[in-house]
């Protein structure tokens, strides 16, 4: 074989090898650049609050159980064990007198001998909503105002007004004003009106605020174990304390088949 022929073969092999390398390199680059580029998402003000409360971790659990005592005007208003699905679609209140309140979606049921049957719907939803409020800020039908600075107790907060679309929940005319710490994004106070069993005008003539404190971490989720209820007005801010709630024995649980089973003789409200 002549030297010239050997050289030609070597040249051809080098060209094939170079082309192959370039092709592999191009495919490698294309493979790398075809990966999706995920940009850092800028959280909305509401999402920053939800993140502070570890909403995702909360919702990864099926249900939450706790003991709650609610007092107003120095008298015990409610005392019992509460169990709620974390997505808030079902709940049970076992009162310390042996009576029960259940809710399943929009339906509420209570024991035939419940002392205050007229307040069954209020009790079924209100305490649950106050408890789960940090995880319900993005519920369907929520309408949020822009963030404003507002002073409360000589502290400057991020303030946002929450209203609801028509036909949202049991009381779409309710509204809330959230006061969150600009540094921690935790909610110290929430002003509100409750229109269940009363007109909007009557509710707005007597607005209140709830203060959340004594946070304890429950499996990575901060839960306020003490609530204080205040008189409140937009101009004057917090007034006198009118009630309080104490929470204990908080834990995430897995309900069984009977946890939310409603007895046949219970009364629907």
Count of domains forming the chain:
1
pLDDT in tens, 217-269: 999 999 999 999 999 998 899 999 999 999 999 999 999 999 999 999 999 99
Task: Report if residue 116 sits inside a domain.
Answer: yes
Task: Report if residue 26 sits inside a domain.
Answer: no
Model pTM score? 0.81
Task: Report if residue 29 sits inside a domain.
Answer: no
Task: Report if residue 1 sits inside a domain.
Answer: no
Task: Report if residue 4 sits inside a domain.
Answer: no
Q: Which residue has the tokens 């909305």?
A: 44
pLDDT at 169: 62
pLDDT in tens, 44-67: 999 999 999 999 999 999 999 999
Q: Which of 122-126, 169-173, 246-250 has the highest mean pLDDT?
A: 246-250
Task: Report if residue 108 sits inside a domain.
Answer: yes
Contact 84, 132 (CB under 8 A): yes
Task: Report if residue 185 sits inside a domain.
Answer: yes
Domain extent, residue 62, equals: 45-268
Q: Report which DSSP code applies to 62.
A: S
Task: Report if residue 31 sits inside a domain.
Answer: no
Of 75, 67, 80, which Cα lies nearest the Cα of 242? 75
Of 146, 150, 149, 127, which Cα lies nearest the Cα of 224? 127
Q: φ and ψ at 72, to 5 degrees? A: -135, 140
Residue 223 belongs to a domain with what CATH number? 2.50.20.10
Contact 27, 34 (CB under 8 A): no
Strands 100-104 and 63-72, sheet pairing: unpaired
């Amino acid at each position: 074989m002549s030297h010239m022929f050997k050289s030609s073969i070597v040249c051809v092999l080098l060209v094939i090898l170079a082309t192959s390398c370039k092709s592999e390199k191009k495919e490698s680059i294309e493979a790398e650049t075809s990966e999706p580029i995920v940009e850092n998402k800028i959280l909305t003000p509401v999402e920053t609050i939800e993140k502070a409360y570890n909403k995702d971790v909360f919702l990864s659990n099926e249900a939450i159980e706790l003991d709650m005592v609610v007092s107003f005007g120095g008298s015990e208003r409610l005392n019992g064990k509460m169990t709620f699905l974390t997505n808030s679609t079902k709940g049970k209140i076992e009162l310390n007198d042996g009576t029960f309140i259940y809710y399943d979606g929009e339906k509420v049921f209570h024991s035939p001998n419940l002392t205050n049957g007229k307040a069954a719907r209020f009790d079924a939803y209100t305490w649950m909503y106050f408890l789960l409020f940090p995880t319900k800020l993005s519920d369907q039908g929520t309408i949020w105002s822009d963030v404003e600075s507002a002073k409360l107790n000589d502290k400057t907060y991020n303030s946002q007004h929450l209203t609801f679309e028509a036909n949202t929940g049991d009381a779409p005319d309710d509204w809330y004003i959230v006061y969150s710490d600009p540094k921690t994004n935790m909610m110290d106070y929430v002003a509100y009106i409750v229109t269940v069993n009363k007109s909007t005008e009557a509710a707005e003539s007597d607005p209140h605020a709830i203060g959340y404190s004594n946070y304890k971490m429950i499996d990575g989720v901060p839960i306020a174990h003490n609530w204080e209820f205040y008189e409140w007005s937009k101009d004057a801010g917090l007034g006198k304390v009118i009630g309080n709630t104490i929470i204990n024995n908080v834990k995430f649980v897995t309900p069984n088949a009977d946890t939310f089973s409603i007895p046949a003789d219970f009364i629907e409200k």
